[in-house]
Every structure is written in C-alpha cells, then in structure tokens.
Chains A and B, each alone.
Chain A
Amino acid sequence: MSTVTKADPATPAGSANPLSRRRPLGDRGFQILALAAGLLVLVILVLITVTTAQQSATWFSTAGFKGIFSVQFDGQTHFGAMGVLYGTVISSVIGIIVGVPVSVGIALLLTQVVPARWGRPIVYVIDLLAVVPSVVWGLWGIIVLVPWLQKIYLDIASGVKGIPVLDALFGGANAGGASFFTAGLILAIMITPIITSLSREVIATVPVIDKEGAYALGATRWEMIRGAVWPHSQGGVVGAILVGFGRAMGETIAVALVIGDSVEVTPHLFYSGHSIAAIIALQFGEATGGEFRSALIGLGLFLFVLTILVNLVARWFVERSARRARGE
C-alpha cells in the first residue's frame, strides 16, 4: 500500500465531499454500485449469523445448556454438539499432522530447490488437486481407499494389541475402513494445495540478501532454510496451516462418505465417527422434526463461528507477516 496520496482529479480540489454535485450522475451511480457490491460480503456474513441463530432457537431452548454441550446425539431426543465436534476436531488434526509436513516440504522444494522454470509445471499439478471436487475424493475414498485401508488397519490393530498408548489410538476390536483416520487422510490430501500455495507466497517474500548472506557464511541449503527462510516466514506459514485447518473442519462431502456415520467419542482413531459438517449433510433430509432440524442448523452456526474464528486468527498471522515482509 503506497503512503503517497493519489492525485484524484475526479474529486476537484475545491469540493470537500467526494460525492460532489459537480460529478455526473452516472459516475456517482457507479461508485454507489461498487460500494454496494463490497458491502454485500458483510451483509451475507451478518445474515448467515442472524438467520441460523433464529432457526436454531428451538434447539437452544429445548436442549438447554446441558443438552447442547453433551456428547449424546441420537436423532430422536438428544442432540448434543460435543460428540460431532470431537469428530470434526480429531479428523482435522489428523489431516493437519499428515498434511503439513508434506505441504511445507513442497513449498520449500518449489521456492528453494527447484528452478522457477521447472517449478511452474509442479504448481499446475498441485493445483489440479485443488479442483478435484470434494465428492470425487469421497467416491474414491469409499469405493477404493476404505476397503484397502480396512486390511491395513486390522493388521495394525492386531499388531499394537497390549502396547499401552498405541493400543488406545490404533487398536480396538471395531477397527474399520471408514473411520476418523481415513477422513483425516482424505482431508490431508485436500488441504495440501491451499497450505502449499499460501506458504509458498510467504516464503517467496524472504529477501534474497538474507539467503545469500547465509550462503556466504558457509551454510548448506538446509542451514540457510533454518537460519534465513524459517525465521522470516514462520508467522505466515502458521497462518497458512490455520487456513488449512479451517478448510478441514468445514469439509463436508468427502468426510461424510468416509468417516463412518456414527456419533462416537473414542480415542480409537480406526473407529467410525462423525463430524459436524458430515452429520448436517447426511441427516438434514431425514430431519423433518422441529428440534432435529433446528439442532442441525444450530450445529451449522457452531461450525460457522468456529471456522470464522480460525480464519480470523489465520489471516491476522498472514497479514502481520506480510506487513513485516514489507518492513512496516
């Protein structure tokens, strides 16, 4: 953003009001139209909050504080949010743990290792991942991946039997292909393009002089990355990871198809579970009753607020590191 005030002849020096009468009607009309389009973003965000809050009032008043924050969700009388929230968080965390090293690795590869000429085709291929629709990942997940992973999960489950922590995480008699872990793996694939491209943007702002300075001191490439690139882009990469986390929490269709469709709070990652977005997608059609539908809309509001918060923090990180890169 330049700090120099732009000379704007459309606002003559004599007029204090930018919407001065001296400007033709069409000119003012266009400005108002543009302003209205910009305001639409804020209007939609406010309307989403207000309308979903209104529609979930039945759930809030019937279930009460205790009912909302319970883990029980049976689709009849109990509509607790915590069980599905657990699934959302667990599957997204698995997605992040698997996806982040891969994404950041690719971002470093593209910016520090591969020359730009070869980097571009790689970027195009990574972008292909981003436009493969969610439902296609879900279809592939349920038909190809789930049966294949089922066998591996069962092997792992029998292998870790009796080992304290591992048995709790990867063991259990009910291990199945459609599970938290499968959902997490699909999410890892789906959030890699966004984390890669945001990290790449941040890493590209590292001043060449810092990098060359590190090399001049005799650093290897990895030492240069640790010493010059990482301190500079840390904040932005954390922001990128949070954006990816927000995406993972809101991802609906792919998760709905592979997470297993049962509300459970269990440390067993190979058990089937549910997520907020998935339960809305799968049960909304059947939820004709007042409180059920109201509860699902309430869960939608919950998810909306959660992703907005994650994205606010993420953007704050990204913008702060962008400001630092500009030296402000």
Chain B
Amino acid sequence: MAVATNSAGHPIDLREPSGWRRSKNQIMTILMWLALVIILIPLGFVLVTLISKGAGAISWQFLTNSTIPPNVVPLGTGGMGAAVVGTLEITGFAALLAIPLGVLGAVYLNEYGGNGILARLISFMSSVMTGVPSIVMGLFIYIIWVLHFGYSGMAGSFALACLMLPIVIRSSYEMLRLVPDSLRQGSYALGATKARVTLTVVLPTALSGIVSGALLAVARAAGETAPLLFTILTVEQTNSNLFSGPDTALPFQIFSNAQSAYTGAEARAWGAALTLVAITFILMIVARIITALFTRNTR
C-alpha cells in the first residue's frame, strides 16, 4: 500500500480514527439499533397477545351475531356483529364526508390559494388541527348535534369526519404539489378551464397518492374510541339505521368490556380488538400496495 504524503513530503496518517472516538461511534450505533429493538418489543408483544387471546374468540358467529351479550355471559353466546356493522357504517359514512371535502380543500390550497395569506392560514391551521385531541371532536359534535338531534351513528360519523378532514387535506395537498406544472400548462394551452384541468388532469395524476393517504386516515379513524363516546351511546342489538337511534362500534365495545371484571367480557374484548386491528391493518396494507404500484409506474 502506497503511503500518502502531503506537499512537504511528510507521511499523513490515513488510518481509521482510533481509541475513544471509534468506540464512541460504535456505542452510538449500537444505541440506535437498541432504540429500534426497544420499540419492536411492545409491538411484537401486543400483536402476539392479540392473536393468542383474540383468535380463540373469533368465529363466524362472533363476527355476525347481532346480539351483544351482557358482560357476565361467557364466550360462545351472542357476538359482536352489531359492533362490526356499526364500525363499518360509521367509519364508511365519515370517509364519505371527509375525503371529498378534504380533497377539495387541498385543491383550494394548491390550485387556487397560491401563496395568499388565506391559503397559508388554512394550510397552517389544518396541520395544527391534526393535533386536536379526538375527545374534543367528540365533545364538539355532542354539543352541536347530539344535544339537538339525539344520539345516532351519523353523529359518530361527523366526529370521525372532523378528525379525518385535516389529515386528508394535508396528505392530498402533498400529493397535488408533486403534479408537474407542465401538465397544467399543456391543458390550458388546449383551452380547458381551470376546473376542468383540475378535475381531468391534476386529480387523476395524483389519484393514487390521494387514495393511499385517505385510506391511512380512514384506518386511523376506524380505531378511534373517544369521538364516539358521547355521540353514538351504545346498544346491544344491531342498529342498521345510521341516521337515527343509538349505535355501537368495535372500539366502543372494547373500551367498555376492558373495564369489566368478567372473563367472558374480556375474551370478547380481545376478539373485538383482533377484528379491529385486522380491519385497520388491511386498510393500511391496501394503501401501501397502491403507493408501491404508483411509484413503480412513475419510475
């Protein structure tokens, strides 16, 4: 190996940094890996517990039987069908409200607002709003809706929609910003109006990113309990009417069963928790697949 020399001809030490500097570097690298291990332990622990305790509770009857039994009843009678139906209806309707509004809001921010003060304010406040506690959204809908029109699944949807709206705005806005300006200019050159350019060129280009962001927002909302506590009340029977009468949902049932001392209630809570986690993971995996397909197409 040739010895490196400086301009004066003296050899330069090009060896690895030695001693304490090197050990410190190694210690820090090990600590970083340790951080990853530390966070994987609870995740693995919770998933293993969920599967070992929840899988035994889940059966076709558990998922579809429309009567939620009282807490004292052991596992085997009744099921969580009412909560499954409630979760799907309430979250679905919330998505129906929040996704179009959120995407429109993002369109305003990116296509119309420009660098104006209003657009900047809305953009800033929407990111602040993602940090508003979900329980505050529940209280808000309780005051403006439930006090006047009573408990219903729809009230729960409103609360979840308030929670999803800023998340959808932020993620869609990030996607719209990635659409190249040349596409817009090309369409304008053909004489299209701005609304037409947005609807037929800009949004389709960003579609997969918007969809995957929206699905992540839905996954987060589906697991929320706090906004539902004061908006849907609770029932033991399936309430398929979203628009009137108290309703129930999986997170709500898990929360109330977790506070019970009966083993039947606890087993049902684990079963419901596994079902809920399965629903949110599926939504997230679909979102990931869409993103992966999208990035492959653009490459």
Query: Which residues of A line the B interface, CB within 8 A?
Result: 1, 6-10, 23-24, 26-27, 29-31, 33-42, 44-45, 47-48, 51-52, 54-55, 101-106, 108-109, 113, 122, 124-140, 142-144, 189, 192, 218, 220-223, 225, 243, 246-247, 249-253, 256-257, 277, 280-281, 284-285, 297, 300, 303-304, 307-308, 310-312, 314-315, 319
Stretch in B2-10, B73-81, B109-117 with 4+ CB within 8 Å of A:
B109-117
18 contacts between A and B (CB under 8 A): A6-B181, A24-B193, A27-B196, A40-B101, A42-B121, A104-B35, A125-B43, A131-B280, A133-B222, A133-B280, A135-B273, A222-B24, A222-B29, A250-B135, A253-B226, A256-B255, A300-B136, A303-B136
Question: Which of A1, A29, A136, A311 interacts with B277 by CB under 8 Å?
Answer: A136
A120–B273 Cα distance when bound, in Å, is: 27
Binds A, one of B55-63, B64-72, B123-131, B237-245: B123-131
Q: Is the CB of B122 within 8 A of A246?
A: no
Flag if B135 contacts A281 (CB, 8 Å). yes
Neighbouring B residues of A29 by C-beta, 8 Å: 195
Number of chain B residues close to chain A: CB under 8 A: 97
CB neighbours of B154 from chain A (8 A): none
Contact status of A252 and B133, CB under 8 A, knowing A136-B46, A220-B21, A222-B24: yes
Partner of B255, one of A40, A101, A127, A135: A135
> What is the distance, in angstroms, from A249's C-beta to the closest C-beta of chain B?
7
Tell whether, in the assembled complex, residue A136 and residue B17 are in contact, meaning their CB atoms are under 8 Å apart. no
B113 and A27 contacting across the interface, CB-CB below 8 Å: no
B108 in contact with A250 (CB, 8 Å): no
| Interface 1/0 per residue, B25-49 and A, CB below 8 Å | 1001101111110111011011001
* A30 contacts across to B, CB distance below 8 A: 194-195, 198-199
Nearest residue (CB) in A for B124 is A315
Binding site for A on B (CB under 8 A): 17, 21-22, 24-25, 28-29, 31-36, 38-40, 42-43, 45-46, 49-50, 101-102, 104-105, 107-109, 111-115, 118-119, 121-122, 124-137, 139-140, 143-144, 162, 165-166, 169, 181, 185, 188-189, 193-199, 216, 219-220, 222-226, 229-230, 251, 254-255, 258-259, 266, 269-270, 273, 276-277, 280-281, 283-284, 288
Contact between A136 and B134 (Cβ–Cβ < 8 Å)?
no
Closest-CB distance, A24 to chain B (whole angstroms): 6
Residue of A nearest to B222 (CB): A133
Check if B32 sits within 8 Å of A34, measured CB to CB: no
Contacts of B34 in A (CB 8 A): 105
CB distance from B215 to the nearest CB of A (A): 10
Q: How far is the CA of A54 from the CA of B115 in the complex (A)?
A: 35
Assess A124 versus B288: contact at CB under 8 Å? Given A38-B122, A101-B35: yes
How far is B189's CA from A23's CA once the two chains are assembled, in angstroms?
A: 16
A41 touches B122 (CB 8 A): yes
A304→B136 contact, CB < 8 A:
yes
- Rounded to whole angstroms, the CA-CA distance of A27 and B118 in the bound complex is 20
- Docked complex Cα distance between A25 and B137 (Å): 36
- List B contacts of A27 (CB < 8 A): 193-196
Q: Inside 8 A of B112's CB, which chain A residues have their CB?
A: 31, 34-35
Pair B143/A55 contact, Cβ less than 8 Å: yes
